[in-house]
Chains A and B, each alone.
Chain A
Amino acid sequence: MTGLEVAFLLLAVTGGLAGLLVVTSRNVVHAALWLVVALASVAGIYLLLAAPFVAFVQVIIYVGAIVVLLLFGIMLTRAPVGRRVLDNSPRARVGAFVVGAGVFVMLTVFLAGAFADERISIQAATATAALGTSLFRNYVLPFEAVSVLLLAALVGAIVLARRD
């Protein structure tokens, strides 16, 4: 087992545990802070998979912007604390657990059947220049579509949230 795999397993265990705590925590603010841990471990996994630019974008946008936005949402909706106000009934939770575990088992079995012997040989990290060249040469149309989407979301959020 190489050092890369050890580092990956450590990050994956951290991220997985933090993800579990996000969906089981009794306190909304704690859940948001565990979400930070989960997203940061995913950023570390991007680094290990030779994608540094995506990792930094993950830290800036997810940890820096989205979690702060979620914390503002928690603050403005008078966050309640406790299992009964945050979660559905125990029966619904058992159903949710069955569905989640079923999805996990199904995905793992299918993926293990399809990619059991494949290996990633990590090369040099993707240069940001290569990413930018590809983005603005081959994917410029989706890029523009995303910018229009962000503008629409901005206008929509202002229209929805303002008082009149």
Chain B
Amino acid sequence: MPLLYPLTFAAFLFSVGVYGVLARRNAVMVLMSIELMLNAVNVNLVAFNAYLRDQLVSGQIFALFVIAVAAAEVGIGLAIVLLIFRNRETVNIDEVDLLRW
């Protein structure tokens, strides 16, 4: 399989995630787009691991680390979203401007 196949797929998934982060205003949707971007990175890691035939399987191990960090990130992110919703009755990120002034 050409190495470009998984790399192009990962690039597409990452760009879709970038679009989602910039175009959505609901905080939960932004978190979903971030998950798409993290997945694109993982596809790259696993593809290069298969390409380089690493003896230490570093690519797959780092993919596992990224998955663990993504789980931590989404847990904290949703806790913050719930806190904002409880205090301000909204999860639109353009209306949360506590730090602006």
Interfacial residues, chain A to chain B (CB-CB below 8 A): 2, 4-5, 8-9, 12, 15-16, 19-20, 22-23, 28, 31-32, 35, 38-39, 42, 45-46, 48-51, 53-54, 57-58, 61-62, 65-66, 69-70, 72-74, 76-80, 85-88, 92-93, 95-97, 99-101, 103-104, 107-108, 111-112, 115-116, 118-120, 122-123, 126, 130-131, 134-135, 138-139, 142-143, 146, 149-150, 152-154, 156-157, 160-161, 163
Q: Is the CB of B76 within 8 A of A156?
A: yes
Q: Is B5's CB within 8 Å of the partner chain A?
A: yes
Per a CB cutoff under 8 Å, which of A16, A62, A108 touches B35? A62
Q: Are B72 and A49 in contact (CB under 8 A)?
A: no
Given contacts A19-B13, A135-B61, contact A87 B32 (CB under 8 A): no
- Cβ–Cβ contact B72 & A150, under 8 A: yes
B residues sitting closer than 8 Å to A (CB atoms) are 1-9, 11-29, 31-33, 35-36, 39, 42-43, 46-47, 49-51, 53, 56-58, 60-61, 63-65, 67-76, 78-83, 85-86, 91-92, 94
List chain A residues, Cβ under 8 A from B71. Answer: 61, 65-66, 150, 153
For residue A9, give the distance in angstroms from its CB to the closest CB of chain B: 7
Which 4 pairs between the two chains have the least Cβ-Cβ distance?
Answer: A100-B19, A23-B20, A96-B22, A153-B72
Give every chain B residue within 8 A of A38 (Cβ-Cβ).
Answer: 13, 36, 39
B29 and A28 contact, CB distance less than 8 A: yes
CA A107 – CA B8 in complex, angstroms? 8
Tell me the smallest distance from the CB of B68 to a CB of chain A, in Å: 5
